[in-house]
A and B are shown apart, each in its own frame.
Chain A
Amino acid sequence: MIAALEQVTVRFGALVALDGVSLRAEAGTVTCVVGGDGAGKSTLLRVLCGAVGPDEGAVQRPDRGAIGFLSSGSGVYSDLSVEENLAFSAAVYGLSPAETRRRAARLLEMTGLDAAAHRLGSELSGGMRQKLGVVRAMLHGPRLLVLDEPTAGVDPVSRADLWRLIAEAAAAGTAVVLSTTYVDEAERASAVLLLEGGRALVSGTPEGIVAAVPGTVTSSDARVAEDETRSWRRGHAWLTWHPGEVPDGAPDLAAYDLVAPDLAIAVVVASLRDELVAGGSGGGPQR
């Protein structure tokens, strides 16, 4: 185990940004923290790399020098070229010029950034900037690599390059923890944590989360009237989650097509279940 949060709570004034969240980051694995805007993803990642201290709970992490961190919105200097950005990171971490050149050359080549080595940070496309940000964060071979929404708004080609970098880090034994709003990315992770309103709704391996979906999910052409709040669209179909906890409210399931849950369904069900229990956590105004 490289890093861990144990029942961590973080408050900013009256706002509870994280509420009793636990996470373990193992060597050579990729952990995805999934959630929408305001779910607490950035706060969690900041706690993990030591930028924010917990109000409650415990944190274990490697020494600062063994952590790589990319904040959301890419940590790239616009006035420096790609090469200079990397040389600067190398200097901060005390890497030798030869070692830097060797590592940088490989990482730049993997991501197609080698052709842009002399371009300024400000002249890079969004995808290239994100790739450079990740290369910078992993240049010193950290034991823990923390990436805040590295693929947000990036096109799928750059996204594939970013995942190549993530796999490269994991292959070298690094524990990678990243946040994303894309469920299909979480499907590629070894472990997933779904955050909403600062709380962990589900966590585990993607397969484990899918296997643990409670109740039944069905598909129909029209919305199931009595289950309105538990129905949602996928393409033309209506999917409905039947918690199966209220015997008299249980529908005649024979009337519907049963659907085998996937991670996207599991995540929606977790949010619906949370709404049901919490009586709607639509989220108040942000402060």
Chain B
Amino acid sequence: MSSDLVRASAVTYRFGALTAVDDVDVAIGPGEVVGLLGANGAGKTTLVRLLLGLLAPTAGSVVLFGEAPSKQGQRRIGYVPQSLGLYDDLTPAENLAFIRAVFGTAPPLGGAPALRSLGELAEVPVGRLPLGLQRRLGFAAALEHRPELLLLDEPTSGVSPLASARLWEMIRSATEDGAGALVTTHDMEEAEQCDRLVVMASGRTVASGSVRDIIGERRAVVVTAPDWARARDALEAAGLSSSLVGRELRVPAATVEAVRHALAEVPARLSEAPVTLEERFVELVSGPAGR
């Protein structure tokens, strides 16, 4: 599709003998939020660098805003690293002024909304602000030049659920104005906010689509046992790994029959429930990819 903001086609990147990104296709269009998931070392960071044009692919191609990645293209991107990229010793106003100078943008009429909402905290050095406010400011700084593509690395890590919802408001308002966004995250709650997910393991795409597509019809066995610890030991002894949720055990990759057999004499009630995104993720990346 020609309307893609960025598209990587069959892109591969090798560091010496290591294939960090292996034949990956990914595209981000206007108005959509794509989540990029993967265990550490899965190749997410390398893929982002390829999309930005900071690395040239060993094979395959990247098209950014309809052409080969370039400095001009990079200026149309808003990037919020996990570390936020703000100057801790400068006030929010000074940080924004500095970024405007770099991008050559003018301050918005009536002042930046991010500063107005800070009130008197606008005069406090950024390093002394609560993390939730720092993150909002990091977003505001990245959005100042009205970028068409946002790259967000763990955008809500460390903040309270309400602060996280407020940050998502900023992301959605940018995408509703036509920007596209790529969010890399380890947070499944955050992943579920995205329109579409790409799951990587060992440099390859192992799944993509909506949360519903990725989970599919897979189900976990739920074990309700008066003595959950005993039930857990019986499952472990049979090589079935379970996770504790409240006082219930979930066994994602097993059938009811296998669980019943493993529990043998241990009293328990068994039922089934759809797997969670996290359970599906662990199954996907623990396959041949291993840890």
Contact = CB atoms under 8 A, between A and B. Distances in A.
B124 to A, nearest CB: 5
B39 interface: yes
B188 A37 contact: no
Interface in A216-241: 232-236
B228 interface: yes
Contact of A166 (B40, B161, B244): B244
Nearest to B188: A184
Contact of B160 (A36, A112, A207): A36
Question: Considering residues A36, A172, A183, which has the most beta carbons from chain B within 10 angstroms of its beta carbon?
Answer: A36
B273 interface: no
Contacts of B228: 171
Contact of A163 (B124, B244, B276): B244
A157 B131 contact: no
Given A37-B132, A164-B243, A264 B161 contact: yes
Contacts of A125: 40-41
Question: What does DSSP make chain B's interface, helix, strand, loop or mixed?
Answer: mixed
A157 B162 contact: no
Interface in B237-291: 241-247, 276, 278, 281-282, 285-286, 291
A96 interface: no
B246 A271 contact: no
Nearest to B40: A155
A282 B291 contact: no
A52 interface: no
Given A36-B131, A37-B131, A157-B291, A233 B172 contact: yes
B169 A190 contact: no
B55 interface: no
Contacts of A205: 246
Contacts of B232: 167, 171
Given A181-B157, A233-B168, A234-B193, A282 B133 contact: yes
B186 interface: yes
B189 interface: yes
Contacts, number: 146
Contacts of A267: 161-162
B251 to A, nearest CB: 12
Interface residues of B, number: 51
Interface in A27-55: 28, 30, 34-39
B229 A286 contact: no
Interface string B17-61: 000000000000000000001111100000000000000000000
Contact of A181 (B40, B160, B193, B282): B160
A208 to B, nearest CB: 11
B121 interface: yes
Nearest to A223: B169
A181 B124 CA distance: 25
Nearest to B161: A267
Nearest to B168: A233
Contacts of B169: 232-233
B189 A264 contact: yes
Nearest to B280: A156
Contacts of B246: 188-190, 205-207
B158 interface: yes
B130 interface: yes
Contacts of B38: 155
A39 B131 CA distance: 11
Contacts of A283: 130, 132-133
B75 interface: no
A127 B40 contact: yes
28 contacts: A34-B161, A35-B160, A36-B159, A36-B160, A36-B161, A37-B131, A37-B158, A38-B130, A153-B154, A153-B157, A154-B186, A156-B278, A156-B281, A157-B285, A159-B186, A160-B278, A166-B244, A167-B242, A171-B233, A181-B157, A188-B246, A206-B246, A232-B162, A232-B168, A233-B165, A234-B165, A268-B162, A287-B128
Interface of A: 28, 30, 34-39, 112, 125-127, 152-160, 163-164, 166-167, 170-173, 181-184, 187-190, 196, 205-207, 232-236, 264, 267-268, 271-272, 275, 282-287
